[in-house]
Amino acid sequence: MHPILETRKLCHVYSQGTPFEQTALHDVDFTAYAGEYLGIIGHTGSGKSTLIQHLNGLLKPTSGQVLFDGTDIWSDPAVTRQTRFQVGLVFQYPEYQLFEETVYKDISFGPKNMKLDEGEIDRRVRQAAEFVGLTEAQLAKSPFELSGGQKRRVAIAGVIAMEPRVLILDEPTAGLDPVGVDAILGNIRDYHQATGATIIMVSHSMEEVARTVERLVVVNDAVIPFSGTPREVFRHGAELETMGLGVPQMTRVFLRLRQLGVDIDPSVYTVEQARDAILAAKGVG
C-alpha cells in the first residue's frame, strides 16, 4: 500500500508561550494509504480536528512533518498550495459556508480558483452535483432555498469539484436524520468507488464508522493510541469506554452475552454480523 498522507512526529501546541498553552497533538505518526476509506474517531478535544487541519496545510506543525505523496507540504509554497487542491477538506456544518447566489456558482468556486477553463469547470460542477444527487433545476436555485441536508450536499459537491485525491470530511452526518445520514454516506461511498480517491471521515458515531470504513484511527489526548480494522479497534472496548467513545451497540450486547455465560465470539459490530453469529451459534446459519 502506498502512503498518500503521512505525519511524522507531528506536534501542535496552541497559544505557545502564553498561560493558555495547550498541546493538541504530541509526536503523532499518522498514515493514510492511497485509495482507502479511513475513519478517525475521538471525542471533542481529543486533537482529531487539529490533526485533519494539518493534512491540507491549514495549520502549520509546531514541530514534525506532514508529507503528501512523500513530499513535505511545507518544503515550498507551491507544494503547500498544490496540497490544498489535492486534499479537499469538508468542515463540520459546511452548509454555513455557502455564500454564492446560485448552487452552480457555489460549487464552481473551488475549480475557478484552480484557474481551470470554463468547459472544464462546467464539467466538474455537473459531475460533482451528480455525485451528491443534486438535480439540474437545483443548480439554478439559491443555496438558501434548499433544505439542510441538500445544502450540506452542495457544500460537499464544492469540494468534490476540485477532484481532490484525498477527501476529508469532518462529521459529515452531524445533525441529520436517518434518511439524510444514509444519503450522505451513500454519496461518499459512490464517490470513493467511482474515483478511487482516498476518503478520511471523522466521526464520533461508533455504529456509523463500524458500517462504513475499512480502517480506523483513534485519537485521544493528543496521541493515536491505536488503529486498525474496525474489528481490531473494537477489541479495545474497555479503553474506548474510558476515552468516552465506547463500542458499537452490537458489540456491547455480545460482550454482555458472554458475561451471561454464552460461548460466542464478541468481535461483531454490525447488525448483520450479529445476526449471522447468532444463527451460526444456533446451527441455523
Partner 1 sequence: MSGPIIEAQDLRFTYTNAEGVTPIVLDGVSLDIEEGSFVAVLGHNGSGKSTLAKHLNAILLPTGGKVYVAGMDTADQQKLLSIRSTVGMVFQNPDNQIVANVVEEDVAFAPENLGVPSEEIRRRVDEALAMVGMSQYATHAPHLLSGGQKQRVAIAGVIAMRPRCVVLDEPTAMLDPIGRKEVLGTIARLNREYGTTVVLITHHMDEAAQADRLVVMSKGHVIADGPPRTVFQDVEGLKAVGLTVPETTQLLWQLRQAGCDVPLDALSDEECAQVLSDFLTA
Q: Residues in the site for partner 1, rule: CB under 8 A?
A: 43-45, 145, 147-149, 174-180, 204-205, 207, 244-246, 248-250, 252-254, 256-257, 259-262, 264, 271-272, 274-275, 278-279, 281-282, 284
Q: Do 198 and 4 contact (CB within 8 A), yes or no? A: yes
Closer to partner 1 by CB, 108 or 203: give it. 203
Quote the least distance from Cβ 255 to partner 1, whole Å. 8
Closer to partner 1 by CB, 167 or 206: give it. 206
Separation between Cα atoms, residue 188 and residue 276, nearest integer Å: 27
SS3 content of the chain, % helix, strand, coil (to 5): 45, 20, 35
Quote the least distance from Cβ 249 to partner 1, whole Å. 5
Quote the least distance from Cβ 250 to partner 1, whole Å. 6
Closer to partner 1 by CB, 62 or 205: give it. 205
Q: Which contiguous run of DSSP H or E holds residue 46?
A: none
Pull the grid cell for residue 164.
481532490
Separation between Cα atoms, residue 271 and residue 51, nearest integer Å: 31
Closer to partner 1 by CB, 44 or 119: give it. 44
Strand partners, 68: 5, 71
Quote the least distance from Cβ 102 to partner 1, whole Å. 15
Closer to partner 1 by CB, 70 or 283: give it. 283
| CB atoms inside a 10 Å sphere around CB 127 | 15
Separation between Cα atoms, residue 3 and residue 174, nearest integer Å: 29
Quote the least distance from Cβ 222 to partner 1, whole Å. 17
